[in-house]
Structure 1
Amino acid sequence: MSNTEYADKQIQATELDEPLRKLLEPVQRWLQMLAVRNHSKHTLSAYFAGVHQLALFLRGKQLTWTRCDKRQLAQHISQRLDEDKLALASVQQELSAIRHFYGWLLEEGLARINPTTGYQLKRSPRPLPAIADVDLLTQLLDQPTPETSEQARLWLRDKAMFELLYSSGLRVGELVALDMTDLDLSALRVRVTGKGNKTRLVPLGAKAAAAINRYLPHRDLWVEQQDRALFISEKLGTRLSTRAVQQRLKVAATRAGIAQNLYPHLLRHCFASHMLSGSGDLRAIQEMLGHSDISTTQIYTHVDFAKLTQVYDRAHPRATHSQNEEN
């Protein structure tokens, strides 16, 4: 199903009376526009959910999009927080969808004001992400190879995945989406497609590259149907799932005797924290992380890749081989 078809399905799956149908007509056109611009199905679903809730509120008040002002918006948001008991983060997501929708209405000449302009929710303090120290990650990544041949083969793949997550600060979704063609082992870099289908180049540490090189012969034996995925399920011969990566990390942590709860996004947090403490170059780290609020996360960036590589090589604990590492 294409993204455009998915956008239409969001509306079609909704029970509509006449007032609600009229409210959702521009919403459907908006979602179709987003689909054409290659927004993901997850984004389309989240945007529709947020705007749909406001549409239900307006229908109950016998209002239209053009008659929704800041006071009406505040009442709706208060209802979502106090009566529907939504978490603040969920309401923030809905508010973001409403803000984007009204921006489109203004562009199309379908509204005169954006009621979200200047409207802000009080944010709760954001908890700091959990961080593991370098010694703990060394314990994970440099653990002995399992004794059984089956587990030893899996560990070659798993170590390559975990080294890459920590080496390049990838999201687990970005990791499993990697194709063989995204990897450039000779140049020590990887092409990553992140949120909003934005593409960026990220440096690849020598230890991660070495781990991937050790895994690739097994990948070539496992792969079925010419699957392009970098990381392959040994049993299925197809692209590994995010759930499988999460489970394999827990297995590896247990085998290494690590009590701390390890999950793929923790390795991304560790990448950012350890790089920042080693370099102090926040801009370069944001570039490598591919944060959505940084316009220079795409492959055609004015930030020089060589500069990113220099920062990476100088700061990342596993950027280069140690003298005692096995070939």
Structure 2
Amino acid sequence: MIEGLLREYQKELLLKNNVKTTIERKLYQVKTFLKWCNSQNIELSGINSADIEIYLLQKSTKRGVQVQNREVIHHFFDICINRGILFENPAAEISIRTTTEERQFSVPSIEEISRITERIRMVDTLTALRDYAMFEMAFGSGARIGELVSLDIEDVNITEKTTMLKGKGRGEKKCRFVPLTDVSVKAIQEYITRRNALNGALFISVTGKRMTVSAIYQRFKLWSAWNPHLFRKAFCTCMARNGCSCEMLSRLLGHNQASTLNHYSHLTTADLHNNLHRSHPRSPSFSAMN
């Protein structure tokens, strides 16, 4: 029975356009929870909200981890309800509170990012040039680490100063075009010129293969105390503080589902460029206005 439920859960994840790594992670989380229930002699049909709360607290004290596991368990129990194994979802009653400490997060400032990129620029190697371009892409466009991995040279339009980012999920509907700062464009152009490359993966390892998520993460940690996602948060923070509208920022970050992008149809590429060049500290017009 459990195997059948897991297969059905996996099918639903595929239908929702989850990427392979997300599906594997969610299946692992469900299996870990079911294994814990078995160790506690708790039958699937007898699980209640108190059991789930105990599991979540034992799993981690971090709210983010608890929320993620709770959502996965909730989704799995929805399938159990559809199959008639449960009549109500015990995970629906669970509310995970945010502490004051967890609401606060630290992101690198523009001064810290400048110090990091200046230090990278002092090293005259192809690897350092690649890392510099990665840092500028993460901060200059708010790209996710997975989007940095999947970037191809053909995705970057040097002339129009735009790039296509392949977002979370599958298919063309998950792709978005975003403008690039002048610094990002110059860094990418210098890197691909030095590589003498015209197509293929933008960021490659010393062996010539496309860099992995783990490899990019390690390069960020080598040069700084910050992981790549915090550079995405720094992008968001800088843009918001300097007047970028919420709807424009949401589009730049790719936070919207394809079904909710219709009300953004009146926004043009020029609108995106104007907002970026007015709000991002890497843009020449930003310096002139401030």
**TM-score category (smaller protein):** 0.7 to 0.9
Aligned positions of 1:48-63 closer than 5 A: 48-56=27-35, 57=37, 60-63=41-44
> Could you say which residue in structure 2 is the equivalent of 1:29?
8
In structure 1, distance between residues paired with 2:4 and 2:178: 41
Which SS does the other structure have where 1:192 is aligned? Answer: strand
1:246–1:264 CA contact under 8 A, matched in 2: yes
Aligned to 1:208: 184
Q: Aligned pair 1:273/2:246, yes or no? A: no
Structure 1 stretch 85-94 or stretch 195-204: which is displaced more? 85-94
Q: Which structure has the greater CA radius of gyration?
A: 1
Q: CA deviation at 1:272?
A: 1.0
Instruction: Give secondary structure in 1 for the equivalent of 2:72.
Output: helix
Q: Please state if 1:102 is matched with 2:77.
A: yes
Indicate the residue corresponding to 1:245 in structure 2: 216
Partner residue in 1 for 2:201: 229
Identity of aligned residues (%): 25
Evaluate the alpha carbon distance shift between residue 192 and residue 108 of structure 1 in structure 2; reply closer, same or farther with a 3 A threshold: farther
Moved more, 24-33 or 55-64: 55-64
Structure 2: segments with no counterpart, 5+ residues: none
Distance 1:111 1:214, change over 3 A: same
Question: Which residue identity does 1:167 align to in structure 2?
Answer: G
After superposition, the C-alpha distances for 1:60-95 in whole angstroms (9 at most, x for unaligned) are 34443xxx5xxx43122233145x353343332221
Shift of 1:298: 8.6
SS at match of 2:282: coil
Q: Aligned residue for 1:157?
A: 130
Counterpart among 49, 53, 77 of residue 74 in structure 1: 49
Does 2:158 align with 1:182?
no
1:105-162 deviation digits (Å, cap 9, x = unpaired): 5567775433333432233342423222222322333458446xxx333332222111
Say which of 87, 101, 105 aligns to 1:129.
105
TM-score by length of 2: 0.80
Aligned pair partner of 2:24 in 32, 45, 64: 45
Residue aligning to 2:60: 86
Contact (CA 8 Å) 2:203, 2:210: kept in 1 or not? yes
How far does the alpha carbon of each residue in 1:186-228 deviate from its partner, in whole angstroms, 9 at most, with x for none?
A: 222221122234322222111111111111123336x9xx7x2
Whole-angstrom distance in 2 between the partners of 1:288 and 1:37: 22
Question: Does 2:274 align with 1:295?
Answer: no
Structure 1: give runs of 5+ residues left out of the alignment. Answer: 1-21, 254-260
Q: Deviations over 1:275-311 (max 9, x none)?
A: 11111522222221223xx325998753624322221
Deviation larger for 203-212 or 296-305: 296-305
Q: Which residue of 1 aligns with 2:95?
A: 120
Residue 193 and residue 135 in structure 1: after superposition, are their counterparts in 2 closer, same or farther (change >3 A)?
same
Partner of 1:8: none
Q: Is the 8 A contact 1:145 1:152 kept in 2?
A: no
Tell me the residue number matched to 1:314. Answer: 278
The Cα RMSD (Å) is 3.2
In the TM superposition, residue 166 of structure 1 has moved relative to its aligned partner by: 0.8
CA distance, structure 1, for counterparts of residue 42 and residue 213 of structure 2: 43
AA aligned opposite 2:265: H
In structure 2, relative to structure 1, the CA distance for the partners of 1:139 and 1:114 (3 Å cut) is same
Contact 2:120 2:128 (8 Å CA) reproduced: no
Which amino acid in structure 1 is aligned with residue 52 of structure 2? Answer: I
Please tell me whether the aligned partners of residues 126 and 195 of structure 2 are also in contact (alpha carbons under 8 angstroms): no
